[in-house]
């Protein structure tokens, strides 16, 4: 392979960031191509050069091979890395790169083309003595002929689009009377998705496991069509794993395969037989599993002639963090990441992402936020490491699957490796169950944290008004969370005496004696209470946000904040006769009139700043000479509000 000193990455998001990070370690400059909507994203920022290639729609940008090749040539890039998705399995793109003297970082166009057809690939595999699922993989597409083949195979059968993927053009048929209607639907969907209505018919395996072998011999569990958690090694015994690995190598050699790829098998738990499904002729989303086992990143070339030692890091797991709603049929979500905090990376915890707090997950692309990868010396330790990391993965602003992943990891069938690809479907009631009640301590910590965060933002001149205050509040709270079953309206009392907070919630008295800010993160607070020490992440923007002990977000709206009694010896800033605004604020209430006699300690005005009310009292006895603002008006810092004489 020719030496590469500049690489164009024809992808976006997490995988673009990952390739660029590795390229920079190798001293290779990187070029990004991006759509209009991706202009301010992380991967564009990471690249040495970046060029716009069109509108957000992939067909007009990331799938425009002509534009991408033009950018590669104009920037004098020697190679193009396609990542996964988009053009990564496009044989024509691979050929076009070669025609323009560009290195396509992937397999040959011939291998892509042969393995891209499910029917042709299975014929090749049969010739290579790689077992395939019993079925009809020929060219005849007459409905009655296919029905006859289905009867020969024996129901249930699976109809699959020849050029399909992602579950499109796929139907399970359990009896003869359903076949023709299912066939029509599969063909219609295949034509719409792949511009090719051809299908094949295979025996449907009732209790399968999905086993993948990256071309390093790494077997991984994958859940159904919907990928959730990958792990290695698979639960199969060593002899079967070895046999599957050998067949994967045979499959790769049959098409003279080079570079990274994945051979997928289905394992029948009833018969203990395995069958070839398909080959992904690209870098796989779960390639970090291989890296965690081997301790290396091989994104340029892949050898298929030797087996890599798997004993270095025995039990890696990968969980995909998606913006989606598990309780709404895993419907993809989009929106702004109002809060985004990752678990701390370490030798056993790794995060692959292409987003930052404040970024937007777009409707135009895959909703994956990140890949969380861990490993442990044994499976139990690896699961616990992944669970701990998920509990410290905090996202708010759009739906996500973190809570669902935590539930999966703790399910007995998963823990004991008693699952198959029907695991999610048959355990939905358990896996999608929401929490039924809030812990009062979390509500108390949120309210105390809100007061603390507002206070630390105040300048000293205004903070003086708060010191030594005794404030008695009655609060109405609206509480909601995607992880909890019900939204709730509750009323609490909140008494503040200096720095001590006394709260009564559902008859439970909680005292917060001290709040301090963690050095790790501005929004990570440490609370010393009558029930122990707690550490929580608190955000106080439009709504109050706290992440509970399991890392699930709770959003709180304070709908009323009635100050019943305020005692303070603090006064306004400036001389004793002029009350000036110590910071920008809104005048909430004026308690006096021009000409009114006042005594030291009388309340003159109440103003609101930083979402808190501040009471200003007279520092001397006197008479109100002038009031310059009306209730509801905004006042700039330093402006005089009331004058006494």
Nearest in space to 5 (alpha carbons), one of 65, 53, 48, 51? 48
- What are the C-alpha distances in Å from 84 to residues 90, 118, 203, 264? 11, 19, 29, 16
CB 610 within 8 A of CB 459: no
CB 359 within 8 A of CB 339: no
pLDDT on residue 484: 87
Model confidence pLDDT, tens digit, residues 207-228: 888 888 887 534 443 333 345 7
Q: Which two tokens stand for residue 185?
A: 């639907």
CB 358 within 8 A of CB 45: no
Beta carbons within 8 Å of 219's beta carbon, 6+ residues apart: 211, 212, 213, 232, 233, 234, 236, 241, 244, 245
Low-confidence ranges of the chain (pLDDT < 70): 1-2, 164-166, 216-227, 294-313, 456-471, 560-575, 582-584, 609-613, 637
CB 230 within 8 A of CB 317: yes
CB 116 within 8 A of CB 93: no
DSSP state of 345: P
Residues listed for the chain: 645
Q: What DSSP string runs through 376-391?
A: ESSHHHHHHHHHHHHH
CA quadruple 36, 40, 46, 48: dihedral positive or negative? positive
Domain coordinates in residue numbering, the chain = 6-105, 135-203, 208-431, 440-564, 571-644
Q: Which residue has the tokens 């048929």?
A: 173
**CATH of 6-105 among 3.40.30.10, 3.40.50.460, 3.40.50.720, 3.40.50.20:** 3.40.50.20
Q: What DSSP string runs through 22-64?
A: HHHHTT-EEEEEEEGGGTTSHHHHHSSEEEEEE-SSGGGTTT-
Between CA 284 and CA 302 the distance in angstroms is 13
pLDDT on residue 476: 84
CATH level 2 (architecture), domain 135-203: 2-Layer Sandwich (3.30)
DSSP state of 308: P
pLDDT on residue 638: 73
- What are the C-alpha distances in Å from 491 to residues 57, 444, 485, 488? 48, 12, 19, 10
CA quadruple 167, 173, 174, 178: dihedral positive or negative? positive
pLDDT on residue 457: 53
pLDDT on residue 46: 97
Q: State yes or no: cis peptide before 28, omega within 30 of 0.
A: no
pLDDT on residue 136: 92
Catalytic residue positions, numbered: 282
**What whole-number percentage of the chain has pLDDT above 90?**
47
pLDDT on residue 225: 32
Between CA 225 and CA 166 the distance in angstroms is 7
| Cα pseudo-dihedral 193, 195, 198, 201, rounded to 10 | -10
Model confidence pLDDT, tens digit, residues 597-637: 999 888 898 877 654 567 788 888 899 999 999 998 888 76
CB 83 within 8 A of CB 62: no
Between β-strands 6-9 and 29-35, what pairing exists: parallel, antiparallel or unpaired?
parallel
Between CA 78 and CA 514 the distance in angstroms is 59
CB 55 within 8 A of CB 38: no
**What is the third-level CATH fold of 208-431?**
D-amino Acid Aminotransferase; Chain A, domain 1 (3.30.470)
Nearest in space to 573 (alpha carbons), one of 585, 560, 564? 585
- What are the C-alpha distances in Å from 216 to residues 211, 371, 543, 615? 14, 20, 48, 69
Classified as helix, coil or strand, 401 is coil
Q: Which two tokens stand for residue 342?
A: 């990752």
CB 192 within 8 A of CB 230: no
Classified as helix, coil or strand, 241 is helix
Between CA 216 and CA 308 the distance in angstroms is 6
pLDDT on residue 165: 64
Q: Which two tokens stand for residue 432?
A: 């999608």
Residue spans of alpha helices (H) in 392-519: 402-410, 412-415, 423-426, 428-431, 440-456, 460-466
In degrees, rounded to 5, the angle at the alpha carbon of residue 61 between the alpha carbons of residues 57 and 64 is 125
CB 146 within 8 A of CB 138: no
CB 503 within 8 A of CB 510: yes
Residue 176 φ/ψ, nearest 5 degrees: -55, -40
Between CA 348 and CA 376 the distance in angstroms is 7
CB-side neighbour CA atoms (13 Å) of 354: 26
CATH level 2 (architecture), domain 440-564: 2-Layer Sandwich (3.30)
Question: What are the b/e assignments for 165-195, b being 16+ CB within 10 Å?
Answer: beebbbbebeeeeebeebbeebbebbeebbe
Q: Which two tokens stand for residue 606?
A: 């109440």
Residue 342: count of CB within 10 angstroms of its CB: 20
Q: State yes or no: cis peptide before 156, omega within 30 of 0.
A: yes
Question: What are the b/e assignments for 393-410, b being 16+ CB within 10 Å?
Answer: bbbbbbbbbbbbbbbbbe
CATH class of domain segment(s) 571-644: mainly beta
């Amino acid at each position: 392979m020719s030496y590469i000193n500049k690489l164009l990455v024809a992808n976006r998001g997490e995988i673009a960031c990952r390739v660029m990070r590795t390229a920079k370690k190798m001293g290779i400059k990187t070029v990004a191509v991006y759509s209009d909507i991706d202009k301010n994203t992380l991967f564009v920022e990471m690249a040495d050069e970046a060029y716009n290639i069109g509108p957000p729609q992939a067909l007009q940008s990331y799938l425009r091979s002509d534009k991408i090749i033009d950018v590669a040539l104009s920037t004098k890039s020697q190679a193009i890395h396609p990542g996964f998705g988009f053009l990564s399995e496009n044989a024509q793109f691979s050929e076009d790169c070669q025609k323009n003297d560009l290195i396509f970082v992937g397999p040959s166009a011939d291998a892509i083309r042969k393995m891209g057809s499910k029917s042709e690939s299975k014929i090749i595999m049969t010739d290579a003595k790689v077992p395939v699922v019993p079925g009809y993989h020929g060219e005849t597409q007459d409905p009655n002929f296919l029905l006859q083949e289905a009867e020969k195979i024996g129901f249930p059968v699976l109809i699959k689009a020849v050029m399909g993927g992602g579950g499109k053009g796929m139907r399970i048929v359990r009896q003869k009377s359903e076949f023709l209607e299912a066939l029509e639907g599969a063909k219609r969907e295949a034509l719409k998705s792949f511009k090719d209505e051809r299908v094949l018919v295979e025996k449907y395996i009732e209790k399968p496991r999905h086993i993948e072998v990256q071309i390093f011999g790494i077997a991984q569990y994958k859940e159904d069509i919907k990928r959730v958690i990958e792990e290695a090694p698979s639960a199969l015994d060593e002899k079967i794993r070895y046999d599957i690995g050998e067949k994967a190598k045979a499959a790769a050699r049959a098409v003279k395969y080079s570079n990274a790829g994945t051979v997928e098998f289905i394992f029948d738990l009833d018969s203990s037989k395995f069958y070839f499904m398909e080959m992904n002729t690209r870098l796989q989303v779960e390639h970090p599993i291989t890296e965690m086992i081997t301790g290396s990143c091989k994104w340029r070339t892949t050898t298929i002639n030797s087996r890599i030692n798997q004993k270095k890091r025995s039990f890696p797991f990968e969980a995909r963090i998606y913006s989606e709603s598990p309780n709404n049929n895993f419907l993809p979500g989009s929106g702004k990441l109002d809060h985004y905090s990752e678990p701390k990376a370490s030798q056993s915890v790794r995060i692959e992402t292409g987003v930052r707090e404040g970024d937007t997950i777009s409707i135009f692309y895959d909703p994956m936020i990140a890949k969380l990868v861990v490993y442990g010396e044994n499976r139990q330790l690896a699961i616990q490491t992944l669970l701990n990391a998920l509990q410290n993965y905090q996202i708010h602003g759009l739906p996500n699957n973190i809570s669902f992943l935590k539930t999966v990891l703790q399910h007995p069938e998963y823990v004991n490796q008693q699952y198959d690809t029907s695991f999610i479907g048959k355990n939905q009631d358990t896996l999608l169950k929401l929490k039924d009640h809030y812990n009062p301590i979390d509500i108390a910590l949120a309210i105390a944290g809100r007061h603390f965060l507002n206070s630390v933002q105040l300048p000293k001149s205004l903070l003086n008004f708060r010191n030594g205050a005794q404030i008695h509040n009655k609060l109405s709270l609206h509480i909601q969370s995607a992880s909890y079953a019900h939204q709730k309206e509750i009323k609490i009392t909140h008494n503040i005496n200096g720095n001590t907070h006394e709260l009564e919630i559902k008859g439970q008295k909680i005292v917060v004696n001290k709040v301090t800010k963690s050095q790790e993160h501005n929004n990570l607070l440490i609370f010393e209470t009558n029930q122990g020490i707690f550490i929580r992440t608190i955000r106080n923007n439009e709504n109050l946000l706290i992440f509970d002990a399991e890392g699930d977000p709770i959003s709180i709206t304070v709908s009323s904040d009635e100050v019943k009694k305020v005692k303070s010896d603090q006064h306004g800033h400036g001389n004793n006769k002029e009350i000036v605004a110590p910071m920008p604020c809104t005048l909430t209430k004026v308690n006096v009139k021009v000409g009114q006699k006042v005594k030291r300690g009388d309340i003159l005005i109440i103003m609101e700043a930083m979402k808190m009310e501040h009471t200003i009292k007279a520092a001397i006895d006197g008479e109100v000479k002038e009031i310059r603002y009306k209730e509801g008006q905004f006042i700039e810092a330093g402006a005089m509000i009331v004058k006494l004489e």
